[in-house]
């Protein structure tokens, strides 16, 4: 393991950070009886229901993998399929009442764990890190799969 003063390349630092964030999702998942993927699905659905193709794109999953994920999460009672009001042939995936409660709890726990990753940084360093990562996310048009901590959580169908 490297010493804190060792310099890492951007690639190494970003890949290792990805592992740390994935570990935070996994730890939260264990606390709530979810797989990391189920937790991510719940977080993605917090603002609004999405169609299967939108979800697949946001989560980076093939149709068959997403179908299995939604099926398993629906069996637990946390999500449901509902008709898409704009396309009678399509369905959207939405949180159920228990899914909304679980999603908010899982989201809060995961935020705390991810926030702890930068606990050793000074406030200015944390702000600089957030600004730089935000530019990477924006510049690469990353899907909006996780909200800001201070964003209001909208659940249910969009108006």
* 47 found inside a domain: yes
Residue 24 within any structural domain of the chain? yes
Give the per-residue pLDDT at 14.
92
- pLDDT (0 to 100) of residue 17: 94
Query: In the structure encoding, which two tokens stand for residue 126, read together?
Result: 């944390």
Residue with tokens 């977080």: 43
pTM recorded for the entire structure? 0.81
DSSP secondary structure string, 29-81? HHHHT--HHHHHHHHHHSS--EEHHHHHHHHT--HHHHHHHHHHHHHTTSEEE
C-alpha to C-alpha distances, 50 to 60, 151, 153, nearest whole angstrom: 14, 19, 15
Whether the pLDDT of residue 142 is over 60: the answer is yes
Mean pLDDT score of the chain = 87
Domain of 119, CATH number, reads: 1.10.10.10
Residue 90 covered by a domain: yes
Residue 141 lies in a domain: no
Which residues form the domain of 117?
11-133
Both structure tokens of 101? 């409660």
Q: List pLDDT tens digits, range 81-116.
A: 999 888 888 899 999 999 999 999 999 999 999 999
Average pLDDT over residues 132-153: 74
Cα–Cα distance, 116 to 24 (Å, whole number): 10
Q: Is the pLDDT of residue 11 over 60?
A: yes
b/e sequence 119-135, b meaning 16+ C-beta within 10 Å: eeeeeeeeeeeeeeeee
* pLDDT score recorded for residue 19: 95
44 domain-assigned: yes
CB neighbour class for 19 (10 Å; exposed up to 12, middle 13-18, buried from 19): exposed
Work out how many domains the chain is built from and give that number.
Answer: 1
Q: Is residue 77 part of a domain?
A: yes
6 — pLDDT class (breaks 50, 70, 90):
confident
């Amino acid at each position: 393991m490297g010493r804190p003063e060792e310099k890492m390349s951007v690639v190494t630092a970003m890949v290792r950070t990805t592992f740390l964030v994935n570990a935070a999702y996994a730890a939260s998942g264990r606390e709530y009886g979810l797989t990391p993927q189920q937790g991510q699905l719940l977080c993605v659905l917090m603002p609004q229901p999405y169609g299967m193709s939108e979800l697949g794109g946001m989560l980076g999953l093939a149709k068959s993998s997403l179908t299995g994920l939604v099926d398993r999460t629906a069996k637990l009672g946390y999500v449901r399929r509902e008709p898409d009001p704009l396309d009678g042939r399509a369905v959207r995936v939405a949180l159920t009442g228990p899914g909304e409660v679980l999603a908010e709890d899982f989201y809060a726990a995961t935020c705390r764990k991810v926030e702890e990753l930068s606990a050793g940084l000074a406030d200015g360093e944390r702000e600089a890190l957030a600004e730089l990562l935000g530019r990477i996310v924006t510049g690469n048009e990353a899907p909006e799969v996780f909200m800001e901590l201070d964003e209001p959580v909208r659940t249910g169908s969009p108006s």
